[in-house]
Amino acid sequence: MLPVNGLYGHIANNIAKSAVLMAGFVLLVAIYWWAGCLLFSALLSMRFGSTSRFGWSRAVTDAMPAHHNSYLPGPTFEGILDYATQTALVHWMIPAGLALVWFVYAFLFYRSIIRAATRSKPLERRAEPKLYNLVENLAISAGLPMPRIELIDSNAMNAYAAGLSPSSATIGVTRGLLLKLPADELEAVLAHEMTHIKNRDVSLMVVALIFANGITLIGNFAGSFFSRDDGGITIPEIAIPTGGGNSEDGEKAAGGVLIAVLAAILAFALMGIAHVFAQLNQFAISRAREYMADAGAVELTKNPDALIAALQRISQDDDVPLADDSMRAMMISRAFDGDSFLDSLFSTHPAIADRVDKLERFAGGRVRAAPVRTAIAARAPAPASITARTPQPAMGISGARATFGRRG
Amino acid sequence: MSAALFAVSGVLFVSALFVVAMFNRLVALNRRCDQAGSDIDVQVKQRFDLIPNLVEIVKGYAGHERGTLEAVMKARQATMAGGSPAAQAQSDAALGSALGRLFAVAEAYPDLKASTNFSDLQAELSDIENKIAASRRFLNSAVNEYNTTREQFPANTVASFFGFESRSNDVIASADRGRVEAAPAVRF
């Protein structure tokens, strides 16, 4: 709506983008629901469409809701579509209710996972005073309670933020990050994670994940009715037309079934498209939040150059071996397996070059000519709560190698 | 007839929303500039508070250098005198050069250089100078964003109607430029 002239505009832009994408999820659910009704309508047409109206049993006519235009979908394609729209509009409470139930269940499920994953002993000030001080200063600047700090025993450079609210938040850093980054770059990375906590990005991504998973689940559920054990496609038994009659009826029946099958194919195509768009949506939201976290980090530290340098340094070695891809969401950076446009669409993080470009354009950052000497944590590593657990829904600064097709 | 009325009122409503959005955006950007300025003041205050410690330590080891020490304290005092932004910029630059002379003088005293208190303070002051520079750059980009948004169409109509004024960039840059352009006095 308004042009992006700097950091504030960039952030406002991404907030708007997130809102539109979340609304997109609602639209996808609606499309899915309509596609489901279309399938239902097609099946009905397959089963009953061939019989003449007076041939139905009373049981069938009594079972049909009175507010439908017609008792059954008409034999034409338009008739099937019309019946589907009718059903979808009249019974809108079914998807709303199902979505609500699914949401509550899934959110509580994820919350319990996050709580279980972050129950270890928090890092104390004594163990890593410089790190603790950095996080504490950032928390004070941002007006947030002090988050738990977790140290990951890995030489790769990465960091993540987890927790569904600022009061129950955790920031994790790898030992490699601590050793290899100078203080101002480390501060930039921590500020990025702190911004994720402040923006409640983990909650947002869990919501997006619930939507995407729900759509996938229902799609698989519906698809299971139509697949044979050997992997082929079949028409479920309930859809097999009943009632015979003379050969003229038989011809009409065949035509009717063909139309119904076309409608069913349309329904599946829509579901498939909605399924893919749900995944794309989830990744698009994630990328927008990453841009926002970069911008927020600059606001906290006032030092965009450090963040640019940190991102470039981290991108060279960010692969932290953790088991759970899908829920780990984002760490601060993510290596691409391929440069294709498709890979970037399915990526949780924007490319490092894009992030640096945005920081240069909107935050006044500059790429440092010479790398800063790295500060080494001089002390011997003190015993700290080192865990290699999978950090469950977390927002990190470098994600894992998620390849196209490996998701969910 | 009623359809046209509906359409016109719809257009008016959307325009009103747009005006509100632009006004709020300008207000937010304006406030951000103020906040950036206050953030600089925080850092400057921190530097102000640290300098007496530095002077005390140096006095302990290099008491003869009273001239340099006094210059630092006087320059420090001058920065708190306030005044126009240009005057502030000048006093700030003066403090910077006084501190620079103090550190140069400290090179001649090995005991002082070996003191961890001194080196810690030096590192802190250097860090604060970096933070001040970063905050100044942030202020400049905030001011730039505000001015650009203020001048672009259609926000400029809202800005002139409600009296949003242009802001000037941080002037330290221009004061420093004067210092840089003067030939440095090098003595061997």
Please determine, looking at this structure, whether the domain spanning A121-203+288-396 carries the CATH number 3.30.2010.10.
Answer: yes
**Residue A301 near chain B (CB below 8 Å):** yes
Assess if residue B188 is contained within a domain. Answer: no
Nearest by CB: A8 against B28, B39, B137: B28
A3 to chain B: which residues are within 8 Å by CB? 149, 152
ipTM above 0.95, yes or no: no
Burial B105-143 (b: 16+ CB within 10 A, else e): bbeebeebeebeebeebbeebeebeebbbbbbbbbbbbb
Q: DSSP state, B63?
A: T
Per-residue pLDDT of B117-135, as tens digits, reads 888 888 888 888 878 888 8
Q: Which B residues, 116 through 145, put their C-beta within 8 Å of a C-beta on chain A?
A: 130-131, 134-135, 137-138, 140-142, 144-145
Q: Do A302 and B134 touch (CB under 8 A)?
A: yes
CATH of the domain at B78: 1.20.1440.20
B55 is a domain residue: yes
| Partner residue opposite B141 with nearest CB, options A3, A301, A364 | A364
Is B187 part of a structural domain of the chain? no
Tell me which residues of A are annotated as active site: 193
B22 pLDDT exceeds 50?
Answer: yes
Please enumerate in sequence order all residues whose Cβ is within 8 A of that of B54, keeping only pairs 6 or more positions apart, or say none.
B72, B102, B118, B121, B122, B125
- A99-to-A93, A345, A351, B127 alpha-carbon distances in Å: 10, 26, 34, 53
Tokens describing residue A274: 């909605």
Q: Is residue B52 part of a domain?
A: yes
* Closest CA in chain B for residue A5: B145
Domain-embedded: residue B186: no
Test B149 with A2 for CB contact under 8 angstroms. Answer: yes
Task: Name every residue whose Cβ is closer than 8 Å to that of residue A182 and which is 6 or more positions away in sequence.
Answer: A372, A373, A374, A375
Full domain range(s) for residue B78: 2-181
Q: What is the 3-state secondary structure (H, E, C) of A68-109?
A: CCCCCCCCCHHHHHHHHHHHHHHCCHHHHHHHHHHHHHHHHH
Residue B165 within a domain = yes
Q: In the predicted model, is pLDDT for residue B17 greater than 90?
A: yes
Residue A200 CA to residue B170 CA, distance in Å, equals: 34
pLDDT digits (tens), chain A, 408 positions:
567 888 888 888 888 888 898 899 889 888 988 888 888 888 777 776 654 444 445 555 566 655 454 556 666 777 778 888 888 888 888 888 988 898 899 888 888 887 776 666 678 888 888 899 899 889 988 889 999 998 888 888 888 898 888 888 889 888 889 999 998 899 999 999 999 999 999 888 888 888 888 888 887 877 777 776 666 667 666 666 655 544 555 555 566 677 778 888 888 888 888 888 888 998 999 999 999 999 999 989 888 999 999 999 888 776 665 544 433 444 666 655 456 677 778 888 888 889 999 998 888 888 876 655 554 433 333 333 333 333 345 566 655 433 333 333
- Residue B134 has its nearest CB partner, among A2, A6, A303, at A303
Number of domains in chain B: 1
| Interface check A5 vs B, CB under 8 A | yes
- The whole-number pLDDT of residue A384 equals 33
Token pair belonging to A341:
């446009």
Answer yes or no: do A2 and B25 touch at CB < 8 A. Answer: yes
Average pLDDT in the B99-113 region?
83
Structural domain boundaries of chain A? 20-111+204-279, 121-203+288-396
CB contact, 8 Å: A3 with chain B? yes
pTM greater than 0.80? no
Residues 98-137 of A with CB under 8 A from B: none
The Cα of A132 is separated from the nearest Cα of chain B by a number of Å equal to 18
| Amino acid A77: pLDDT | 79
